[in-house]
Amino acid sequence: MDVRIDILTLFPEMFDVFDYSIIGRAREKKILDVNTVDIREYTEDKHRKVDDYPYGGGAGMVMAAQPIVDCIRDIKKLNNGKVIFLGPRGKTFNQDMAKELSKEKELIFLCGHYEGIDERARKYIDMEISLGDFVVTGGESACIPIIDAICRMIPGVLKSDESYMEESFYNGLIEYPQYTRPECFEGYDVPEVLLSGHHENIRKWRRIQSLIITRKNRPDLFRKAELTEEDKKLLKKYRNR
């Protein structure tokens, strides 16, 4: 097995999504080993409780330290990867982070729930990641897209490196427009350059379209993009039309 990922969660069934599509095929090929671990199996409470009321009062419940810590310790016997917690204190996830994590051979993801986790469990966490500045029901909802983004860049998961290298955000820009048959749909034609068979002209067309779309829709990304001399010439040529 090339890469092992363990997901520590209260709701293992939520990760059935990884039985399908690209990730599912990669698991069948033994490129990925994605496992879910039920934190409830580690609680010492006879009623299988994993949460309790917060000291000091307040709304909601907090996940207790004991089942989390015991679960991490047990999984560490099989997986020595970083323990990544999905929570609001972490850096916001992006494509660069996905690239770096895709180089790891072992990873452990901890999904929080309720009002968070007991602070004393944090010393067993190596890294915290946030999906963004909004609230979701639990760490599972954030964990799924993060693992998906990471796994797509693991060698062998996609059919070719180009499949992810040309996707939106991989190189800091949004992907160019795509077309398929028929050539004309409801009066709208496929751009002639894509029918020309001229690979260099197609490459340039795709690049300028990617630049234009990013500048229009995500100016924040465009400002951070490292433009080549060719990019600058293409943009100048486009402005002069």
Q: Which amino acid is at 22?
A: I
Place of tokens 């009321």: 53
Specify the pLDDT at position 172.
86
Specify the pLDDT at position 1.
66
Mean pLDDT of the chain: 93
Q: 0.75 exceeded by the pTM?
A: yes
**What is the CATH number assigned to the segment(s) 3-151?**
3.40.1280.10
Pick out the residues of the known binding site.
112, 131-136
Structure tokens at 6: 């363990």
**Residue pLDDT, tens place only, 34-44:** 999 999 999 99
**Residue pLDDT, tens place only, 29-78:** 999 999 999 999 999 999 999 999 999 998 899 999 999 999 999 999 99
Pick out the residues of the known binding site for S-adenosyl-L-methionine.
112, 131-136
How many whole angstroms from its chain centre is CA 94? 7
Maximum CA extent, the chain: 74
Specify the pLDDT at position 163.
63
Range(s) of the chain covered by CATH 3.40.1280.10: 3-151
Q: Which CATH class is domain 166-239?
A: mainly alpha
**Residue pLDDT, tens place only, 143-187:** 999 999 999 999 999 987 546 666 667 788 999 999 999 999 999
Range(s) of the chain covered by CATH 1.10.1270.20: 166-239
Q: Which residues are CB-neighbours of 95 under 8 A, at least 6 positions away?
A: 149, 169, 170, 172
SS3 content of the chain, % helix, strand, coil (to 5): 40, 20, 40
**Residue pLDDT, tens place only, 93-120:** 999 999 999 999 999 999 998 889 999 9
Q: If you write DSSP's letter for every residue of 15-66 in order, what string do you get?
A: GGGGGSHHHHHHHHTTSEEEEEEEGGGG---TT---EEPPTT--SS-EE-HH
